[in-house]
Amino acid sequence: MTDPIADMLTRIRNAVAVKKPEIVLPFSKLKFSVAQLLEQEKYVAKAEKIKQGNFDVIYIALKYNDKGPVIRHIKRISSPGQRIYVASKEMPYVLNGYGTAIISTSKGIMTSQEAKRQNIGGELMCEIW
């Protein structure tokens, strides 16, 4: 697999489309930090690392409300074939501030608002609303 983040986002998108309550993903530090950020921003109910057999996996409990799923849109921006980098002054506003862009910086994975606050740029990984 050349792009595990795109695979993770596709699994989340597909699970939300059929209203699954949770998903289980193979573990990696990068995917786990993205999942923790989604939990911190309240797009998913829970994201945790659990042991399944001999391997670690990421368990993500999806979140729904009266109108449907909390995650309406999730899209990969930067890919292995075309990396998209943004400076701190060029951070995107997703859905006029109602959405979130996830940025990979030298200080870790964070939202675009947090990266702008810390005045650092990085790779624009995905956007979600």
CATH number, position 32: 3.30.1490.10
**What is the overall mean pLDDT for the chain?**
95
**Portion of the chain with pLDDT greater than 70, in percent:** 100
Structure tokens at 105: 């910086």
Tally of structural domains, the chain: 1
81 contacts: CB under 8 Å, gap ≥ 6: none
Token couple for 104: 């990979």
Range of the domain at 65: 4-128
Tens of pLDDT, residue by residue over 75-93, are 999 999 999 999 999 999 9
pLDDT tens digits, 5-57: 999 999 999 999 999 999 999 999 999 999 999 999 999 999 999 999 999 99
pTM of this structure: 0.92
